Structure 1
């Protein structure tokens, strides 16, 4: 793990911090303003919008990052295919919007879905530019782009929410954020298609691209199954509560996992081109990811109730009740995210895709049945699905370079001990101060105590990792 890797992670981490601090502030303010029902209706529309986005984002462009060399015409062919898919997705979503609204029993979903879908065209137009920036490991540029896009989109959303636009403010936020990000990517990369690709050049898009499209589709089905199931079997309030809890999980993931995942894929691909051996680096990244995500999610689970009461109010307390289930699932999924980056970087995707399909196939009936029993049952089903799928996903990732179960799991043991020790300390502190201090004091002191405990436990039970992280920052080559 060289210094360039650590510098890139630092840039992405700084960007994620700015993004998420901005997102958190605006998210909670908007949630308070629009209320649970409007928030839930917007989440119903986003369930399908995100499927459309992920069919286009980081799909056929992944080969640009992974390939040893870029053949003549690959970029133009990829752009044409990607923009064509984006246009097809937008038209499909607009045509299906009335049917989706009837499925939910919420007519307001249709216009929201139709208004939000054109943002997918921006993703298609900027896909090649973003991939070129990632291939060149221009993560400083990507970090600045992401932070600016979130700030601009968030300010527009807040202004519209204060103006009484309700769920429409959330749709506008997404459109502005995606449009800003796309524009900055195109300008930074300095690439635009200069000719129409030939038939033979379109053939270059085959291979990794279609498999990634299937992977992204499967991932979105997995992610959005609870939202759709609760929308169909429950009501907008249940969807809103789940969406809030899931958003908190997403924020923690972006802070703890996204910087490592985003840089790791490019770094692993580069390492594979140079040496052909990536297993040791993959295990190192896995252990650091486990340490960050386990402790972050354990801390959130312990302080879920006072945190929700503090930042968003008692109307959203239902979200706090399901957060422990989703935190556990989030910790498991953080490891899967690194596995996905790993198999993408070494072009070992097909079996990993099959494992994802198994997860989707298990999750749809499991969560649909659970949703009929309410929000908590659905959250428990999400956790059960993640644990079952983890076995299949890990089995595939290990097979890529013949990593044994004992070697892989040993990288998770000490991060788990650190997370449990920290959670016990914070939980005991919460019991001590319960009823004797306000939510602000409880949350602030719990975060401080958890941080101190986590750092202390890392030094005691993971001294080699602590040293390795310090060396990672200090190394010059």
Structure 2
């Protein structure tokens, strides 16, 4: 990209013209940022799980279904209020203060427009779903688009500087406040409005805190600043994100339209119980990965080495955790949601597999964005959306559970395609990443089968003990694979090395 000047506040060694020795410090800064990501997001995941456990016992499936109907559709507004400009700001080699201010004004204007549109379409959305409650929920959520638009560039600025700990601390505070107020209002009998309160609080806390922490205010919009490259890349990313979002949420949209709020509420509990904690982890790892890989654009060997380790850091934790869910799904549902949600179990197992497979393809997105391959990324996303659309439409013919099976089928097909397609577009040899992913998948599947078998043969007196048996089975299986397979030992050494680096920094 051709911005004019380096960002004045960039940490030493991050700019593209830094001395060669500074690149050696990039790994240390990345490890420090990764360590901050792990502990803050770990706490946030605990808060989110606490939120799921508490509210599942206070709200019914219709409450989740009503809010799910709204978020499945209007969630696409989050893409347009950002317009891909946060990614453009992080990806660019340099960024002037004037460009950063211009991006802020564009994001703010987009957030304001989307807030107005959210209020305007509220009655139309209620008519589409045949659910009057949807109108009020949609109008209440709409102002969060403006708040998010006004803080996107502050968040991008902190991520660009690898100061992710500050932004994550704000998110952690927002999650704690949302949990407290959501639980309180649910106790008061507010039903789905308790979930609306949580969404508003989650947007309001960063709106107040991030500008203070980032320590800068936007200037007036300056037409003299070179914006074409940033906006061009942002438009391509926005198109990609929009198509990806619609493809990822088509299952919920069709579920709500065809089978009603109750069925969508069951499916939504399975999706949100797993996706919510994963979405505290995966996007932050992705942002960190993009921040680092964008600084290695001229070094293919180091880029591929980082991508391989990033894939390990994403793949094994997610797959092994999802494997425990698959192995002990009834117990997990009983502990997390309560016994009255046991009808969620089939959805929970399928969603767990789908989320794991989706994770394997995320590294391909790092390549597209770090190398500014917006058009290639959009072409791949359109292709993947057509595959998902075909799978979900076919699955819907067999009922709600058929949609859940389609949720698994499409990423199973797409994850290796995504890596090979990104390699062809970037000129990187991504075939080793495909083999890397296949090994993660095979090892995790073997450990999951062992954990499931142990759960089936060991009698337990409570759901908590059943979960512990699944964890023990997973650990024993991984220990055995570590002893038998040198490649597993190599993977675990790489993960341990990354862990030590994060703990030391």
TM-score (norm 2): 0.88
Q: Alpha carbons of 1:252 and 1:82: their partners in 2 closer, same or farther (altered >3 Å)? A: closer
Q: Could you tell me how far 1:366 is from its partner in structure 2?
A: 3.6
Counterpart Cα distance in 1 of 2:28 and 2:74: 38
Distance in structure 1 (CA, Å) of the matches to 2:301 and 2:443: 33
State yes or no: 1:427 paired with 2:447: no
Stretches of structure 1 that go unaligned for 5 or more consecutive residues are: none
The aligned length equals 476
1:402 Cα shift? 3.6
Q: Aligned-pair distance for 1:58?
A: 7.2
Residue 125 of structure 2 contacts residue 135 of structure 2 at CA under 8 Å; is this kept in 1? yes
Which residue is 1:104 aligned to? 129
1:466 to 472, 476, 492: 492
Out of 340, 344, 347, the residue aligned to residue 372 of structure 2 is 347
Distance 1:405 1:130, change over 3 A: closer
Deviation at 1:32, TM superposition (A): 2.0
SS state of the match for residue 234, structure 1?
helix
Q: Following the alignment from structure 2 to structure 1, what is the Cα–Cα distance between the partners of residues 472 and 455?
A: 12
**Greater mean alpha carbon deviation, residues 72-81 or residues 254-263:** 254-263
**Separation of aligned partners in 2, 1:471 and 1:53:** 36
**Which secondary structure state, in structure 2, belongs to the residue aligned with residue 61 of structure 1?**
helix
Q: Which residue of 2 aligns with 1:417?
A: 442
Q: What do the CA deviations read for 1:390-423 (whole angstroms, capped 9, x no partner)? A: 3442222222444456422221243233212321
Per the TM alignment, residue 460 of structure 1 is displaced from its structure 2 partner at its CA by 4.8
Out of 432, 446, 450, the residue aligned to residue 470 of structure 2 is 446
Change (3 A) 1:460 1:208: farther
* Residue 437 (structure 1) aligned to one of 461, 466, 472: 461
Deviation at 1:318, TM superposition (A): 2.6
354-363 vs 107-116, greater mean Cα deviation:
354-363
Q: Deviations over 1:266-311 (max 9, x none)?
A: 1111222678951222122123322222212222111111211233
Cα–Cα, structure 1 residues 372 and 118, in superposed 2: closer, same or farther, change >3 Å? farther
Residues 274-313 of structure 1: pairs in structure 2 closer than 5 A: 278-313=303-338
RMSD of equivalent CA atoms:
2.4
Alpha-carbon distance in structure 1 between the residues aligned to 2:222 and 2:428: 41
Match of 1:171 in 2: 196
Of 350, 356, 363, 1:331 maps to 356
d(CA) in 2 for partners of 1:259 and 1:216?
Answer: 16
**Structure-1 residue corresponding to 2:422:** 397
Question: Could you tell me how far 1:66 is from its partner in structure 2?
Answer: 1.3
Unpaired runs of 5+ in structure 2?
Answer: 1-25
TM-score normalized by the length of structure 1: 0.93
Structure 1 residues 124 and 355: alpha-carbon distance in aligned structure 2, compared to 1, 3 A threshold: same
* Structure 1 residue 151, shift from structure 2 partner: 0.5
Indicate if the aligned counterparts of 1:322 and 1:375 stay in contact, CA closer than 8 A: no
> Could you tell me which residue of structure 1 aligns to residue 69 of structure 2?
44
Structure-1 residue corresponding to 2:266: 241
